[in-house]
Chains A and B, each alone.
Chain A
Amino acid sequence: MSDVTHETTVRVAERVERLTAETSEGPQGLLERRATDLNELGREVGAVLRGTGLALDPRDVDVERSDDETMIINMGPAHPSTHGVLRLMLELDGEYVLRTKPVIGYLHTGMEKTGETLRYMQGSTNVTRMDYLSPISNELGYCTAVETLLGVELPARAVWIRMLMAELNRVASHLVWLATNGMDLGSTSMMIYGFRERELILAFFEKTTGLRMNHNYIRPGGVAADLPDGWEDDVTVICDTILERTDEYDDLLTGQPIFRGRMEGVAPISAEEAMALGVTGPILRSTGVAWDLRRTMPYLAYDQVDFDVIVGTYGDNFDRFAVRLNEIRESIRIIRQCVERMPRGDYRVQDAKVTPPPRARIDESMEALIHHFKLFTEGFQVPVGEVYTAIESPRGELGCYLVSDGGPHPFRMHVRAPSFVNLQAVPLMMRGGMVSDAITVISSVDPIMGEVDR
């Protein structure tokens, strides 16, 4: 009898070992406490503010706790609540989270390396796929960097079209966030509503750019095409509908006791902690810091439009929800001003070295044909230099660091993805919370894995 038990134990142990070997990420994963450096331990429990030194308060990281009392579990990478392929490793004491470590890279496709082999004009097809919920912001960030290096001045209409599209995209992105956040909390009706309203915007994007997602609409030197006829009516309908429906979501969620119970006071983060971690966007604003690049370091024509920067107070889940909900309203205010004040004129810069000639000119003019041919076979040269530009994407500061060696390809193209940095706040927000709150924490950070892994 005992032989049989022994055999079973050995077989189970073998199986566990095999499974561990198959699924382990090695030192990338969350390790046992005795195998973890003290500073790393501090990071995993979310101890962020330690002054300038590296000394940690041992009480902060519970060094006394033995590994036998706790359990390390794995969440993701294919968990429905992780919004893609985010994998979290959690150390649990009962149902309370002690340590967290996000394991990423499952969607890494080497976009920064690809960016070095594409010409500047092709680059926006590449970056648009990073943050797939706000492709316009990616294109804008990249094109701003290219144009700063080139030193071109955009025509006013291009600037305002970009602003209109970026704000529509922000509304669409926040609507998806509302939808998925609702779904994570079990409110499946919100899921349907959010995606339904987003579809209005995507339909307009399709009409304008030809594609629902990954538009490649904003290009160095302007935008790909002018707005379609009757766009004012389309946009006005979108604004009216979404504004009305936003009030309905407010009724549906904001006062709802279950929703408030899951959101209020859960996963708070302070302004100092957020800034130390480099966290930007709605998460930083929810802590009460009025930091919005559209206002504080204006680009495009954001200094000419009227809107409010929404801030929260406590930096908890509920504040992050409220900030995003109200940002939809502010974006619609900006969109309405774009409709009223859209200037006439060119939608791209009339510099033949950057912009291809109109199709009709190619039949008539030899020079136009040459320019067209050169632009699409060689691309344009960008002066030697390096630049870091940043814009406010729906998730925070989206920066693009571009190095040019004077050739037609970027020498180095690095994108500072807001989700990648914001994800570092997860261990801090998780600390001391329950596993069920982990879902709402991931949701309220709003990571887009395409952008995290690039």
Chain B
Amino acid sequence: MIPLPPTAPPGVACADALACDVACFPTPDAYLNLVRAWREDGFEVCADLCGVDYLGHPGRDLPEGVGATRFEVVVNLLSVSTRRRVRVRVQAGDREPRVASLFGVYPGTEAMEREAFDLLGILFDGHPDLTRILMPEDWEGHPLRKDYAVGRVPVQFKEAPGPR
């Protein structure tokens, strides 16, 4: 398990993670500063950013002191120079999920944050262009939310031909 970077904000919980060195769980306030600290610690690439809607599966394994919320933003950082990976999981809230945008630290998160906004409705403060990216502009709702009604095309069974 790798230690937190020296400039990390206090009170960030950590845990071992599968296929990754460590997962850390900052509060939404500490999130941006923690990612910036990892950036200064040599994590040059933000490999991935996505959101998860935990509606219907609240009992996930979190370290002590981290209150589970419905939405979570998961960031996977990568250090090319030291060949390490680290995962940052931030609890984004229940009703109106909102976290800071990483655009200023990693410009490459622009499209990923737009995708998380589009499909899950997570708001990113400080994002320059928070518009839909995959769905049409006038789409209603956020399809990857667990309470989003999946549209179905009803199957039209032809009536069985009657007796002649």
Select the stretch in A11-19, A348-356, A387-395, A434-442 that faces chain B.
Answer: A387-395
- Encoded as 1 (CB less than 8 Å from any A CB) or 0, chain B from 29 to 43 comes to 000000010010000
* Cβ contact within 8 Å between A108 and B129: no
- Docked-complex contact A52 and B19, CB < 8 angstroms: no
Residues of A within 8 A of B13 (CB): none
Contact A54 B18 (CB under 8 A): no
Contact assessment for A276 and B76 in the assembled complex, using a CB-CB cutoff below 8 Å: no
Complex contact B135–A108 (CB within 8 A)? yes
A411 to B134, CA, bound (A): 21
Q: Is B137 an interface residue (CB 8 A)?
A: yes
Interface residue ranges of A34-56 to B (CB < 8 Å): 37, 39-40, 42-43, 48, 50, 52-54
Stretch at the interface among A259-267, A306-314, A364-372, A419-427: A419-427
* Min CB–CB distance A414 → chain B (angstroms): 4
B101 to chain A, nearest CB (A): 10
Cβ-defined contact, B119 with A26, below 8 A: no
Would you call A385 an interface residue if the criterion is a C-beta within 8 Å of the partner chain's C-beta atoms? yes
Check if B104 sits within 8 Å of A423, measured CB to CB. no
**Could you mark each residue 251-295 of chain A with 1 if its beta carbon is under 8 Å from any beta carbon of chain B, else 0?**
000000000000000000000000111111000000001010000
The docked-state distance in angstroms from the alpha carbon of A390 to that of B47 is: 9
Known contacts A37-B128, A275-B80; decide if A401 and B135 are in contact (CB<8 Å).
no
B45 touches A275 (CB 8 A): yes
For the complex formed, measure the closest distance between the CB of B148 and the CB atoms of chain A, giving whole angstroms.
8
Residues in B neighbouring A390, C-beta threshold 8 A: 47
Tell me the minimal C-beta distance from A61 to chain B in angstroms: 12
* A residues less than 8 Å from B129 (CB atoms): 27, 37, 40, 43
Indicate if the CB atoms of B44 and A276 lie closer than 8 Å: yes
B12–chain A nearest beta-carbon distance, Å:
18
B69 on interface, CB distance cutoff 8 Å: no
Asked whether A148 lies within 8 Å of B119 as measured between CB atoms, the reply is no
- State in angstroms the CA–CA spacing of A222 and B87 once bound together: 28
B22 CB contacts on chain A under 8 angstroms = none
* A-B interface contact total, Cβ < 8 Å: 138
Which residues B73-129 have CB closer than 8 A to chain A?
74, 76, 78, 80, 83, 85, 87, 103-112, 115, 119, 126, 128-129
- Residues of A contacting B110 in the complex (Cβ-Cβ under 8 angstroms): 43, 424
Please, how many residues of chain B have a CB less than 8 angstroms from a CB on the other chain?
A: 52
In Å, the complex CA distance between A405 and B54 comes to 10
Q: Min CB distance, B144 to chain A, in Å? A: 6
Residues of B within 8 A of A403 (CB): 52
Interface membership of A113, Cβ < 8 A: yes
Instruction: Output the least CB separation between A84 and chain B (Å).
Output: 14
**Residues on B with beta carbons closer than 8 Å to the beta carbon of A399:** 47-48, 76
Nearest chain A residue, comparing its CB with the CB of B74? A401
Contact with A along B125-148 (1 / 0, CB 8 A): 010110111111110000110000
**How many angstroms between the C-alpha atoms of A275 and B108 in the bound complex?**
8
A385-B61 in contact (CB<8A): yes
Contact of B137 among A27, A39, A297 (CB under 8 A): A27
By the criterion CB–CB under 8 Å, are A277 and B131 in contact? Answer: no
The prevalent SS among residues of A at the interface is mixed
Determine the residue in chain A with the shortest Cβ distance to B151.
Answer: A110
| Partner pick for A113 among B56, B115, B144, CB 8 A cutoff | B144
Number of interface residues of A (CB under 8 A): 56
Give complex CA distance A416, B108 in Å.
Answer: 13
Interface residue from A108, A401, A420 paired with B76 (Cβ < 8 Å): A401
A27 to B138, CA, bound (A): 10
Q: Which residues of A contact B119 (CB under 8 A)?
A: 112
B76 touches A388 (CB 8 A): yes
A386 touches B18 (CB 8 A): yes
At the interface, yes or no: A336 with Cβ under 8 Å from chain B? Answer: no
| A388 pairs with B19, CB closer than 8 A | yes
- Hey, which chain A residues are within 8 Å of B18, CB to CB? 148-149, 385-387
Q: What's the Cα separation between A416 and B150 when bound, in Å?
A: 23
A26 to B133 Cα, complex, angstroms: 11
The answer to whether the Cβ of A362 comes within 8 Å of any Cβ in the partner chain is no
Task: Report whether A412 and B128 are in contact in the complex, using a CB–CB cutoff of 8 Å.
Answer: no
The 9 closest A-B pairs by CB, nearest first: A278-B108, A39-B128, A26-B137, A40-B128, A277-B108, A416-B48, A105-B134, A405-B57, A387-B18
* A–B complex contacts, Cβ < 8 Å, 17 sampled: A25-B137, A37-B129, A43-B107, A104-B133, A112-B144, A113-B144, A278-B45, A278-B109, A278-B112, A385-B18, A385-B61, A386-B17, A388-B19, A411-B52, A412-B52, A416-B47, A453-B134
Instruction: Give A residues with C-beta under 8 Å from B.
Output: 25-28, 37, 39-40, 42-43, 48, 50, 52-54, 104-105, 108, 110, 112-113, 117, 145, 148-149, 275-280, 289, 291, 296-297, 384-390, 397, 399, 401, 403, 405, 411-412, 414, 416, 420-421, 423-424, 453-454
